[in-house]
């Protein structure tokens, strides 16, 4: 009788192993095909970056697949303007997506030169999200960050909020109320930041041309706070 009972042990183990393997394969497949979300976080207000390397993105599909906002790459320095900025900005008006503009701040020209070029190319419609300023180089010198602060102040002077893609310890250079974007892999000091760039290798489910290497953001706060501040894509 004892030997008869163990006749079913090996088949049961094999079946259990197959179930476990299928479960891992299912989870892996979903991870590879679903929208990339912040690891270890329940944040639900997600955004993506669009630029001239992402042609033909259907913004309505983007909106219907869990994305709430878009950041458009605009200028770098005093000579570069992204080819797709105006195209996507026009198309966004037919959606409920909020949007903002990205300035990559160069160390090769002055704050005034870069501000004038940005204003010339973009105009007043920078979006209802803060203008994101991204340092073009890793430079911790006071001279460079004072230049970024001057650019930021010029934006403030025309009624624009600013989001600095940098460590919040740089806040000493900026006016009180300046927002900061966290760019690390694991979010710390949440209260010091407004947004989080949680991956540059993400994907958005069911949206053509956004199935790999997508820069993605999360708003650090609840949906109600987001809606109160950024619930429309009209300019500030």
The structural domains of the chain, ordered by start, are 34-230 (3.20.20.80)
Give the per-residue pLDDT at 221. 84
Give the per-residue pLDDT at 28. 42
Listed in order, strand segments (DSSP E) in the chain are 46-50, 67-76, 80-81, 98-105, 131-135, 162-165, 179-182, 195-202, 214-219
Q: What is the pLDDT along the chain (236 residues), one digit of tens a residue?
A: 445 455 556 666 666 665 656 444 344 444 446 999 987 667 889 999 999 999 999 999 999 999 999 999 999 999 999 999 999 999 999 899 999 999 999 999 999 999 999 999 999 999 999 999 999 999 999 999 999 999 999 999 999 999 999 999 999 999 888 999 999 888 877 889 999 999 999 999 999 999 999 999 999 988 888 988 887 655 54
- d(CA 109, CA 77) in angstroms, rounded, equals 6
Structure-block tokens of residue 143: 């001279």
Give the per-residue pLDDT at 25. 39
């Amino acid at each position: 009788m004892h030997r008869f009972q163990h006749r079913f042990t090996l088949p049961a183990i094999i079946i259990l192993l197959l179930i476990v393997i299928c479960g891992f394969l299912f989870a892996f497949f979903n991870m590879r095909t679903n929208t990339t979300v912040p690891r270890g976080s329940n944040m639900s207000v997600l955004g993506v970056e669009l630029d001239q390397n992402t042609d033909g993105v259907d913004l309505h599909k983007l909106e219907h697949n869990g994305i709430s906002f878009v950041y458009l790459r605009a200028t770098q320095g005093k000579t570069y303007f992204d080819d797709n900025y105006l195209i996507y900005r026009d198309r966004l008006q037919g959606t409920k997506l909020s949007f903002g503009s990205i300035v990559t701040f160069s160390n090769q020209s002055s704050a005034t030169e870069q501000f004038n070029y940005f204003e010339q190319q973009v105009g007043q419609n920078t979006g209802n999200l803060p203008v994101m300023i991204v340092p073009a180089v890793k430079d911790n010198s006071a001279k460079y960050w004072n230049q970024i602060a001057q650019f930021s102040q010029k934006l403030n002077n025309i009624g624009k909020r600013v989001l600095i893609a940098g460590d919040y310890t740089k806040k000493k250079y900026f006016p009180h109320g300046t927002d900061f974007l966290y760019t690390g892999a694991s979010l710390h000091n949440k209260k010091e930041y407004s947004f989080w760039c949680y991956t540059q290798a993400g994907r958005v489910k069911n949206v053509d041309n956004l199935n790999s290497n997508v820069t993605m953001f999360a708003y650090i706060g609840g949906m109600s706070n987001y809606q109160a501040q950024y619930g429309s894509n009209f300019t500030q």
